[in-house]
Chains A and B, each alone.
Chain A
Amino acid sequence: MPVYFLRRVLAAIPVMLVVAVFVFLLLRLTPGDPAAVLAGDMATPEQLEKIRDSLGLNDPLYVQFFRWMGELLTGDFGTSLISNQPVIDLVADRMWPTIWIALITITLSVIVAVPMGVVAAWKHRSWIDHLVMTFSVLGFSIPVFVIGYLLIKLFALDLGLLPVQGYVAPSEDFPGFAARAVLPALTLASIYIALIARMTRASLLDVLGEDYVRTARAKGLTETRVLFRHALRNAAVPVMTVIGTGFALLISGVVVTESVYNIPGLGRLTVDSIFARDYPVIQALILLTSGIYVLVNLLIDLSYSFLDPRIRY
Chain B
Amino acid sequence: MPVLDIRNLTVSIDAKDGASVVRDISITIEPGETVCLVGESGSGKSVSSLATMGLLPKGALKVTKGEILLDGEDMLTLSPAQLRDRRATRMSMIFQEPMTALNPVIKVGEQIAEVLEAHTKLSNAESHAKVMDILGQVGLPDIERIAKSYPHQLSGGQRQRIMIAMALILEPRLLIADEPTTALDVTTQLQILRLIKELQEKHGTAVLFITHDMGVVAEIADRVYVMNRGDMVESGKVMDILAAPKMDYTRRLLSSVPSLVPRPARPAASAKIALQVVELNKVYGGGGFLSKSAGTHAAKAVNFDLKAGRTLGIVGESGSGKSTVARCVMRLIDPSSGGIRVGGQEIADLTPRGLHPFRKRLQMVFQDPYRSLNPRLSIEESIIEGPMNYGMPRAEAVAKADELLELVGMPAGSAKRYPHMFSGGQRQRIAIARALAMEPELLVADEAVSALDVSVQAQVLDLLAEIQERTQIAILFITHDLRVAAQICDEVAVMKRGEVVEYGLTADVLGAPQHDYTKSLLAAAPGRDWDFPNFRPVAA
Q: Which A residues fall within an 8 A CB radius of B?
A: 3, 7, 125, 210-212, 214-222, 225, 229-230, 233-234, 307-310
Contact = CB atoms under 8 A, between A and B. Distances in A.
B55 A217 contact: yes
B101 A309 contact: no
Contacts of B88: 218-220
B104 A234 contact: yes
Nearest to A215: B101
A92 B290 CA distance: 38
Given A215-B95, A220-B115, A310-B150, A230 B87 contact: no
Contacts of B104: 212, 234, 308-310
B103 A234 contact: yes
Interface residues of B, number: 30
Interface of B: 53, 55, 59, 84-89, 92-93, 95, 97, 100-106, 114-115, 118-119, 150, 152, 163, 166, 289-290
* 4 closest Cβ pairs, A-B complex: A220-B87, A211-B100, A212-B103, A309-B150
Contacts of B101: 211-212, 214-215
Nearest to A213: B103
Contacts of A230: 103, 106
Given A211-B95, A307-B105, A219 B166 contact: yes
B290 A3 contact: yes
Overall SS of chain A's interface: helix
B448 to A, nearest CB: 25
Contacts of A216: 103
Nearest to B176: A218
11 contacts: A7-B289, A210-B100, A212-B100, A215-B102, A215-B166, A218-B92, A220-B85, A220-B86, A220-B88, A234-B105, A308-B104
Most buried by A among B100, B105, B152, B289: B105
A219 B114 contact: yes
Contacts of A7: 289-290
A218 B105 contact: no
A218 B103 contact: no
Contact of A221 (B53, B118, B152): B118
A310 B153 CA distance: 9
A130 to B, nearest CB: 16
Given A212-B100, A215-B102, A308-B105, A220 B119 contact: yes
Contacts of A308: 104-105
A217 B57 CA distance: 11
A222 B88 CA distance: 13
Given A220-B115, A308-B104, A214 B152 contact: no
Nearest to B119: A220
A220 to B, nearest CB: 4
A225 B84 CA distance: 12
A311 B103 CA distance: 14
